Chains A and B, each alone.
Chain A
Amino acid sequence: DAKTTQPTSMDCAEGRAANLPCNHSTISGNEYVYWYRQIHSQGPQYIIHGLKNNETNEMASLIITEDRKSSTLILPHATLRDTAVYYCIAQGAYAGGTSYGKLTFGQGTILTVHP
């Protein structure tokens, strides 16, 4: 898996957008960028993923740079319930790849949303 680098912690005011960056400069062409989060004492939760196009779902948006070396997860209107550790992971998604199906979790970014 490509190594990802994230800031250790970030703060965000409730109701504002939270923008979480991730660097993955060694990502290979068949690796997707996945974002998961882990709220205290719970199992990790899938948020969103993308290959090279920007993606949006009901939880968040994912912006991937054209060279695919970095990405940003955007929570458009952060709430107190979004306080969690956010993990950015480069995962091989196609059969035959060495990282196929496997997630390698780093330390992630601790996002604290305050009132």
Chain B
Amino acid sequence: DAGVIQSPRHEVTEMGQEVTLRCKPISGHDYLFWYRQTMMRGLELLIYFNNNVPIDDSGMPEDRFSAKMPNASFSTLKIQPSEPRDSAVYFCASSGTSGGRSYEQYFGPGTRLTVT
């Protein structure tokens, strides 16, 4: 398997623009997670899905952020409108389950977002 795939790897945009980050989880995994990493706040969980359904979005910072998972092989994280404080590295991760137990998470390479 190619692992978790994220695109784009780097994104530079101007304040006020819409940004869409994309993630393809590992085939067969039923959990998908979106994280954000900054120097000030470290790694934070934003939202996670189970079987394409959002389970916990309490980490989403505000209404400008939204995430979708239309099918088991694709998810998006959208920021509209973007602000300079959204500059960070965004990671997607996926994990599988068996017998009600979840397993380790596999992370993608991340998308480095810069909002000017």
Tell me, yes or no, whether A binds B: yes
Q: Which residues of A contact B (CB under 8 A)?
A: 34, 36, 38, 42-46, 49, 87, 93-95, 100-107
> Min CB distance, B106 to chain A, in Å?
7
Query: Across the two chains, which residue of chain B brings its CB closest to A102?
Result: B45
Beyond A43-B110, A101-B33, A105-B43, 17 additional pairs, beta carbon < 8 A: A38-B43, A43-B4, A43-B108, A44-B43, A44-B105, A45-B107, A46-B104, A46-B105, A93-B101, A94-B100, A95-B102, A100-B102, A101-B55, A102-B45, A103-B105, A104-B45, A107-B42
Cα A77 to Cα B29 in complex, Å, equals 32
Task: Say which residue of B33, B97, B102, B106 sits within 8 Å of A46 (CB atoms).
Answer: B106
Q: Which residues of B are at the interface with A, using a C-beta cutoff of 8 A? A: 4, 31, 33, 35, 42-45, 48, 50, 55-56, 91, 93, 95, 97, 100-102, 104-110
